[in-house]
């Protein structure tokens, strides 16, 4: 059986936590911060985890993670 390739875009964007969840940077923070509320900017700091449905898709891109 040949080795499976990891999607190179996925390995740059996602990390798998110790419990198997998918960690990802918060979306919506590249530009346009003036129009966003202070609460949005504060809550969007750091990273977040994907929902189970989205995590299943990402894990298929990263077979050895």
Measured CA to CA in angstroms, residue 21 lies from 1, 27, 35, 53 at distances of: 27, 17, 32, 11
| pLDDT score of 9 | 97
Q: What structural domains and CATH numbers belong to the chain?
A: 8-61 (4.10.410.60)
Residues 26 and 44: beta-carbon distance below 8 Å: yes
Tens-digit pLDDT profile for residues 7-53: 999 999 999 999 999 999 999 999 999 999 999 999 999 999 999 99
Q: Phi/psi class of residue 64: alpha, beta or left (left: φ > 0; alpha: ψ in -120 to 50)?
A: alpha
| pLDDT score of 22 | 98
| pLDDT score of 56 | 97
């Amino acid at each position: 059986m040949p080795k499976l390739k990891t999607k190179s875009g996925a390995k740059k964007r996602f990390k798998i936590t110790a419990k198997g969840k998918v960690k990802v940077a918060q979306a919506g923070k590249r530009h346009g911060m003036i129009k966003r509320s202070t609460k949005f900017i504060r809550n969007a700091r750091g990273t977040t985890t994907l929902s189970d449905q989205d995590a299943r898709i990402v894990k298929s891109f990263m077979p050895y993670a």
